[in-house]
Structure 1
Amino acid sequence: MKRLLVLIMALAMTLSLAACGGNNAAPAESPSTPTQVEKTEFTAEQQALAQDFMSMAEEFDAIADRVNASPELLENEELVTAMNDLSSEIIKADEYFASPETLTPEIMGALTVAIEVGRSFIAEAGAALEEIGH
């Protein structure tokens, strides 16, 4: 159980790093006429990252559903708090996928690490749940 909590906290910290990343570039000048506005498209790399992130988030939801279905696990206040914190971090990180401009290379790198840590957490949590029969 302690390993599970450590993984949860590691994922939360990694997602926090992504959330703290900023874009230091100066804002672009706004076009003088509305006809000059160009719509920026997501790159293939950004789309792949978004799909990978959503897949990890869905896997986390499945683990959370298994924890929520277990009254004895829900009595573990530390676990429930950690899962809620992690869920909040996933929601915050999801905001980076609102537009291509927010997915800077630095943010994409941090999100890639967060996805890897999330998948490690999911694997550990799934194994722990299997071990205790849930």
Structure 2
Amino acid sequence: MKRLLVLIMALAMTLSLAACGGSNAAPTAVPSTPEQVEVEFTEEQQALAEDFMSMAEEYDAIADKVNASPDLLEDEELVTAMNDLADEIIKADECFASPETLTPEVMGALTVAIEVGRTFIAEANAALEEIGH
């Protein structure tokens, strides 16, 4: 159980690194024409988004297993960690709002967060199977 909590916290910290805060650059001028310039997601950004969504869905499956177990829900530390992690996944999801927010630095942090998330999911599945859930 301790390893599970450590992984949850590691993922939460990693996702925090992927925060999509504003930049110090001056805002760009609005085009004088009424046409809106649409920037499309690159293939790399789309692949990262798909990988992130897949990881998030796998996390949701783990959360459903925890939520279905009254014994696990009594573990306040676990529930708090799972809720904190869910909040971090939601924050990271905001990075996919537009292609401009997916800078190379943010994409790198998200890639690491996805890897940590997958590690957490594997460890959580193993821990749940070990205790019979």
TM range (shorter): over 0.9
Aligned position for 1:4: 4
Q: Normalising by structure 1, what TM-score?
A: 0.95
| One-letter amino acid matched to 1:125 | A
1:19 touches 1:93 (CA, 8 Å); kept in 2?
yes
RMSD over aligned CA atoms reads 1.1
For residue 87 of structure 2, give the secondary structure of its aligned residue in structure 1: helix
Unmatched segments (≥5 aa) in structure 1 = none
1:14 touches 1:110 (CA, 8 Å); kept in 2?
yes
Aligned position for 2:47: 48
**Corresponding position: 1:29 with 2:29:** yes
**What are the Cα deviations for residues 74-128 of structure 1, in whole angstroms up to 9, with x where unaligned?**
0000000000000000011101111111111111000000000000000000000
Cα distance in 1 for partners of 2:58, 2:39 equals 30
Aligned position for 1:97: 96
Cα distance in 2 for partners of 1:13, 1:32 equals 42
- 1:34, distance to aligned residue in structure 2 (A): 1.1
Cα distance in 1 for partners of 2:92, 2:47 equals 15
Q: 1:114 to 1:120 in 2, by over 3 A?
A: same
Cα distance in 2 for partners of 1:81, 1:91 equals 15
Tell me which stretches of 4 or more aligned residues in structure 1 moved more than 6 Å: none
Cα distance in 1 for partners of 2:92, 2:74 equals 28
Cα distance in 1 for partners of 2:21, 2:107 equals 10
Matched residues, number: 133
Paired residues for 1:1-134 under 5 Å: 1-19=1-19, 22-35=22-35, 37-134=36-133
Q: 1:107 to 1:21 in 2, by over 3 A?
A: farther
Matched-pair identity in %: 84
1:60 touches 1:122 (CA, 8 Å); kept in 2?
yes
Q: Normalising by structure 2, what TM-score?
A: 0.96
- Name whichever of 88-97 and 24-33 sits farther off: 24-33
Cα distance in 1 for partners of 2:125, 2:91 equals 24
Cα distance in 1 for partners of 2:89, 2:13 equals 11
- 1:38, distance to aligned residue in structure 2 (A): 1.1
